[in-house]
Structure 1
Amino acid sequence: MLKVGLIGCGSISVIHLEAINKNEDTLLVSVCDIKNDIVSKVSNEMNCKAYTDYAEMLEHEDLDVVHICTPHYLHKEMIVKALSLNIHVVTEKPVVMNIEESKAVQSALSNSKAKLAVTFQNRLNPTSLVMRHYVDQGILGDLIGIKGFVTWCREPIQYYAESDWRGQYATEGGGFLINQGIHTLDLIQWLGGEISTLNGSYSTKAFQEYIEVEDTAEIYIEFKNGAKGLFYGTNAYSSNTPVEMELLFQNGLLKYMNGKLYIEDENKDFVFLEEDFAPDQRGMSYWGASHQKAINAFYKSIIDNTSDYINLDEGLKTISILDQIRNKD
């Protein structure tokens, strides 16, 4: 039985807590949050110990695994601390805010007996796995183009005011790209392969009064295999519309829209292939239904001592893209 703790009892924690409770090989021992009223409520609901100091929890509880669900700027120090105590880590994205921060995490990981998993759960969506199968097997020939569009809504007064760490480079590490767009950008690079060239831009189109980070971004990518990629996204739209993706191959086209994956037939009609089922879990629908899969896979990798999980190197690929865009000048 893996003894598990969780740091950060904000909105995303509910989906991690549910995953922990549903797994037969884990026991939730403790939770931590700096807000005593929040952590007390969660600990009572989950029947576990409550802490307001994460270091105290890591040092005093005999944990096997800790989930980090805190604001971005706290990830590095918490990951390093847990790894120094040989505690396995599941961290929400982004693993760190930039590549410079990753150096301390990489050093801690290399000196630890523990593993580190990054939550890019959308790689495990049914539609994502089918897309990857078409790419790997060359079913429609070589991939020659891939694009993704994310048009979501974050009401500035409500969203940014409710958490003062959002909207600031020092604490969020960026805006739309590192928080909302990162999952689709991760899928684009995961499906497209190694990148040879990229050029992107980002700006604040709508929320200048409220944030210093970007609310909109666009990226052009050339992959080493010759494919081209495009990404556009914003969190300044009127609502959270479904993510759209398209994969263009030598001999065909896959299109992802409204949570379903289609293949274009000889008549230019789209034929259904696969769909992402509505999440049977607490939390936001746009978080998808694969957190449980990703977390279970990591637990299994610990028990079986395998590397079948999304590791630090994979988690840093998208961070590297963001760094290149931000540092191009």
Structure 2
Amino acid sequence: MSVIKVGVMGIGNMGRSHVQLLGKGKINGAILTAVCDPFQDNLKELLKDTAGDVQIFKDEDAFLNESDIDAVLISTPHYDHPRLAVKAFAKGMHVLVEKPAGVYTKSVAEMNKAAKESGKVFGIMYNQRCNPIYQKLRELIQSGELGEIKRTNWIITDWYRSQSYYDSSEWRATWKGEGGGVLLNQAPHQLDLWQWTTGLMPKKVHAFCSYGKYHDIEVEDEITAYVEYENGATGIFITSTGEAPGTNRFEISGDRGKMVVENDKLIFHRLTQSEREFNATYKGGFGKPECWTIDIPIKGERTDHQGIMQNWIDSIAKGTPLLAPGEEGIKGLEISNAIYLSSWLKEPVELPIDAELFYKKLQEKINQSSFQKKNVEKVIFDVSETH
């Protein structure tokens, strides 16, 4: 098949990285054909080392109509992801969108609908799915090695950010500029992995968000969320940008033991028999099931953004299954929307959430936001961050 011609929209922090990968031939079967950013003036300098001629556009409609691309990678601000993806699908283009899928599920559901109707390949930049540790964790859980899940805990507090980080741009950490704080900017990868590895989506969320607790900002910089699952399991998700040193520990407890991801290792505390079986049959009082501690060997290398991009191109060219289908972006966003809504209402919320109610409450936050410029599109930097 001929080489896939790719365009990149949004040449900010992550957009520049994507341009470099494509422009230097790091993605097999793809060629960088065009870029678009209305407010960047030095794109020729960025493109000087890229292979071939790359068209530069400042107008998104001209880019979509005149660039002659097959596929588009969207790395614009969060709010624009669904809108631009819908326009690209209408032009018959394949789409890879940066995380998060959007800010609210209402618009992301519309994006998913457009993707399905277009029949084009739709991916999302969940690059942590390319981490062999999480792939192995998912494999072990999905194969039944852990048995039925009882509890999940993720403490991800090593996202520390100083006040100067937030002060670097007036749109940062504002409801109108970014649409949220640590939950939407730093932690979307963990929210995705939380449900992707376990195969569980919460049915109820009771969350507590602290807004500007450690920084002079209007959005949240610390959250604690309690969730309940359909099978009776429970979970806790804690994240913050105000703790140093921080922790990154993911723990999943099941009927056959416990798995822990921490310090780039996967440890399986494996019971030699089912806990439920032991509980029903043991007659010795204070005993407990025999447990083996196993350091699970991890094979393969992290391919991160390059891996997701290569997989997306391979799916377009060869029909390779997507590691991160774009439609799945709504799952982690649904969890984050539920956390916000629970915090705002000061009560537990059921999933799926009331998307209209969330949108209404978000608009109230936006209308009170300190970032009140009319042209929010002038926020040209992609605020996605990786972990």
One-letter amino acid of the structure 2 residue matched with residue 272 of structure 1: D
Q: Which residue of 1 aligns with 2:374?
A: none
Q: Which residue of 2 aligns with 1:198?
A: 205
- For residues 281-320 of structure 1, the aligned pairs below 5 Å read 289-305=303-319, 307-320=321-334
Distance (whole Å) between structure 2 residues aligned to residue 198 and residue 94 of structure 1: 20
One-letter amino acid of the structure 1 residue matched with residue 96 of structure 2: V
Q: Which residue of 2 aligns with 1:82?
A: 88
Q: Which residue of 1 aligns with 2:179?
A: 173
- For residues 102-113 of structure 1, the aligned pairs below 5 Å read 102-113=108-119
Distance (whole Å) between structure 2 residues aligned to residue 9 and residue 162 of structure 1: 18
Shift of the alpha carbon at 1:15? 3.7
One-letter amino acid of the structure 1 residue matched with residue 209 of structure 2: Y
- Render the CA deviation track for 1:280-309: whole Å, top value 9, x for unaligned: xxxxxxxxx422222222111111245534
Deviates more, 1:45-54 or 1:218-227: 45-54
1:70 aligns with 2:49: no
1:263 aligns with 2:265: no
- For residues 44-55 of structure 1, the aligned pairs below 5 Å read 44-47=48-51, 48-55=54-61
Higher relative contact order (CA 8 A, sep 6+): 2
Q: Which residue of 2 aligns with 1:39?
A: 43
- Render the CA deviation track for 1:199-258: whole Å, top value 9, x for unaligned: 11211254452x21101111111122332211100011236x462211112122211111
- Which of 27, 30, 42 is the matching residue for 2:31? 27
Deviates more, 1:31-40 or 1:211-220: 31-40
Q: Which residue of 2 aligns with 1:245?
A: 250
1:13 aligns with 2:19: no
- For residues 138-287 of structure 1, the aligned pairs below 5 Å read 138-151=144-157, 152-157=159-164, 159-192=165-198, 193-209=200-216, 211-238=217-244, 241=246, 243-264=248-269, 270-275=293-298
One-letter amino acid of the structure 2 residue matched with residue 173 of structure 1: G
Shift of the alpha carbon at 1:27? 0.5
- Compared CA separation, residues 212 and 88, structure 1 to 2 (3 A): same
Query: Is the 1:64–1:88 contact (alpha carbons within 8 Å) kept by the matching residues of 2?
Result: yes
Distance (whole Å) between structure 2 residues aligned to residue 168 and residue 10 of structure 1: 18
| Rg (Cα) greater in structure | 2
Distance (whole Å) between structure 2 residues aligned to residue 270 and residue 179 of structure 1: 35
Distance (whole Å) between structure 1 residues aligned to residue 259 and residue 95 of structure 2: 35
Distance (whole Å) between structure 2 residues aligned to residue 101 and residue 114 of structure 1: 19
Q: Secondary structure in 2 aligned to 1:262?
A: strand
1:61 aligns with 2:61: no
- Compared CA separation, residues 242 and 69, structure 1 to 2 (3 A): farther
Shift of the alpha carbon at 1:109? 2.2
- Compared CA separation, residues 10 and 247, structure 1 to 2 (3 A): same
Shift of the alpha carbon at 1:54? 2.6
- Which of 326, 329, 335 is the matching residue for 1:321? 335
The size of the alignment, in residue pairs, is 317
> What CA RMSD, in Å, does the superposition of the two structures yield over aligned residues?
2.4
Question: Any gaps of 5 or more consecutive residues in structure 2?
Answer: 272-289, 346-387
Query: Is the 2:129–2:323 contact (alpha carbons within 8 Å) kept by the matching residues of 1?
Result: no
- Compared CA separation, residues 277 and 218, structure 1 to 2 (3 A): farther
Q: Secondary structure in 2 aligned to 1:139?
A: coil
TM-score for both structures, normalised by structure 2: 0.75
TM-score for both structures, normalised by structure 1: 0.87
Q: Which residue of 2 aligns with 1:132?
A: 138
One-letter amino acid of the structure 2 residue matched with residue 195 of structure 1: P
Distance (whole Å) between structure 2 residues aligned to residue 237 and residue 166 of structure 1: 19
Deviates more, 1:250-259 or 1:107-116: 107-116
- Compared CA separation, residues 161 and 74, structure 1 to 2 (3 A): farther
Between the aligned residues of both structures, percent identity stands at 28
